[in-house]
A = this chain, B = another copy of it.
Amino acid sequence: MTFRDKLETIIAKNNSLLCVGLDPDLEKLPKHLLETKDPIFEFNKAIIDATHDLVCVYKPNIAFYEAEGIEGLQSLKKTIEYLQQTYPEIPLLLDAKRGDIGNTAAKYAKAAFEYWNADATTVYPHLGLDSLIPFFEYKDKMTIVLVKTSNKDSGMFQDLPVDGEPYYLRMAEKIKTWSYDNIGIFVGATYPKEMKGIRQLFPDHIFLSAGLGAQQAEIAAIVKAGINARGSGIMFNASRSILYASSGSDFADKARTKTLETRDAINQYRKKS
């Protein structure tokens, strides 16, 4: 089953475009978990159990695990195994933002898709097509290219004008010519105008968007700009607002409440008007 099929099935089943980012930060975890043997895993497990019927994908950002070294990566491995054994219908997106040349790119692709067993991952496209082919060759997996990021300085280089067009758009136009049907597109949720232009270029691609604002108005703008003609085809990530909705022993319940709210806030704007 391809990532796209798996994603579309769960989007329909859970009526959700919400991606929950599993980005555990030891400094922010509920205190009582720090006494357990594997706080990161226990936290992730509780979040997954509390939200699995409300999401379309889980997205661990590997940086949060790497910061804790091999021990952190062991918690990631355990989390992935738990997710895939317990809720096999939910895809796993490993947010790793990798990218290197030829033979090294193949090693990163092997790590993401074989060792971590991710259904999808994120990459930098800036080195060009030959650096990405080792990822694209995993046909059932999806490789999501960073076209426009959500941060404040995102425009510093990504918006540089190339023949009157921003660099990110020129890059996107080139990506569109690549003959692989398992390429996903990343656009930050803080740039609805840019999202609209990129969605027009890729009407049928799967998108990932992160940095969803807490304001309804912002959600309205980015959802309307990002969905495809069927009101779908995109994953909206939320991490901190859900993971740290409470720092007490009720964190999982509060995470569920916040997940439900966010899912429904997104769904409100999924009908194309």
- Contact status B126-A157, CB under 8 Å: yes
User: Which of A94-102, A198-206, A261-269 lines the interface with chain B?
Assistant: A94-102
Q: Which of chain B's residues have a CB closer than 8 A to the CB of A103? A: 25
A162 and chain B: residue at smallest CB distance: B160
Q: Is A163's beta carbon under 8 Å from chain B? A: yes
- Contact status A67-B111, CB under 8 Å: yes
CB distance from A258 to the nearest CB of B (A): 18
Most buried by B among A61, A110, A128: A128
Docked complex Cα distance between A174 and B102 (Å)? 28
A125 and chain B: residue at smallest CB distance: B157
Most buried by B among A66, A69, A174: A66
- Contact status B102-A151, CB under 8 Å: yes
Q: Which of chain B's residues have a CB closer than 8 A to the CB of A196? A: none
Q: Which of B74, B146, B153 is the one whose CB lies under 8 Å from A128?
A: B153
CB distance from A133 to the nearest CB of B (A): 9
Q: Take A99-B97, A127-B151, A151-B131 as given contacts and tell me if A104 and B63 are in contact as well, using a CB distance cutoff of 8 Å.
A: yes
Q: Is A218's beta carbon under 8 Å from chain B? A: no
Q: Which of chain B's residues have a CB closer than 8 A to the CB of A25? A: 103, 107
Contact flags A5-46 to B (C-beta < 8 A → 1, else 0): 000000000000000000101000000000000000000000
- Contact status A61-B100, CB under 8 Å: yes
Q: Is A158's beta carbon under 8 Å from chain B? A: yes
Q: Take A124-B126, A126-B126, A162-B161 as given contacts and tell me if A107 and B151 are in contact as well, using a CB distance cutoff of 8 Å.
A: no
Q: Which of chain B's residues have a CB closer than 8 A to the CB of A61? A: 100, 104, 107
Q: Is A167's beta carbon under 8 Å from chain B? A: yes
Q: Take A155-B128, A157-B126 as given contacts and tell me if A23 and B104 are in contact as well, using a CB distance cutoff of 8 Å.
A: yes
- Contact status A167-B156, CB under 8 Å: no
A97-B100, A97-B124, A99-B124 known; 16 new pairs, CB 8 Å cut-off, are A25-B103, A61-B107, A63-B107, A63-B108, A63-B111, A68-B115, A97-B98, A101-B211, A127-B157, A127-B158, A128-B153, A130-B153, A157-B167, A157-B170, A160-B171, A167-B167
Q: Which residues on A are within 8 Å of B, measured CB to CB?
A: 23, 25, 61, 63-64, 66-70, 73-74, 77, 97-105, 107-108, 110-111, 114-115, 124-131, 146, 149-158, 160-163, 167, 170-171, 174, 211
**Can you name 22 A-B residue pairings with CB atoms under 8 Å?**
A25-B107, A61-B100, A63-B100, A63-B108, A64-B104, A67-B114, A70-B74, A101-B150, A101-B151, A101-B211, A124-B124, A126-B146, A126-B158, A128-B151, A128-B153, A128-B154, A128-B158, A129-B153, A157-B167, A157-B174, A160-B162, A161-B163
